[in-house]
Amino acid sequence: MQQYYRGNRRNGLWQMSPVNTIIIVINVVVFAVLTFLGDTTDVQFMHHHGANFWPSVIEEHEYYRLLTCTFIHFGISHLFNNMLVLAYIGDNLERALGKVKYLVLYLAAGIGSSAVSAVWSMFKDEYSVSGGASGAIFGVVGALLVIVIKNRGQLEDLGIRLDKMLSGQLEDLSSRQLMFFAGFSIYHGVTSAGIDNMAHISGFLIGALLGGLLYRRKRYWKQNSKGTAATW
Burial class (CB in 10 A: 0-12, 13-18, 19+), 226: exposed
b/e map 2-23, b = 16+ CB within 10 Å: eeebebeeeeebeeebebbeeb
Contacts of 52 (CB under 8 A, 6+ apart): 65, 66, 69, 114, 117, 118, 129, 130, 131
Break the chain down into helix, strand, coil percent, rounded to 5: 65, 5, 30
The catalytically annotated residue of 17, 78, 200, 202 is 200
Q: How many C-beta atoms lie closer than 10 Å to residue 151's C-beta?
A: 20
Q: How many C-beta atoms lie closer than 10 Å to residue 98's C-beta?
A: 17
Is 200 part of the annotated catalytic residue set? yes
Is 47 part of the annotated catalytic residue set? no
b/e map 74-86, b = 16+ CB within 10 Å: beeebbebbbebb
The catalytically annotated residue of 17, 134, 185, 202 is 134
Length of the chain: 232
Q: What angle do CA 206, 209, 210 make, to 5 degrees?
A: 85
Q: Give the active site residues.
A: 134, 200
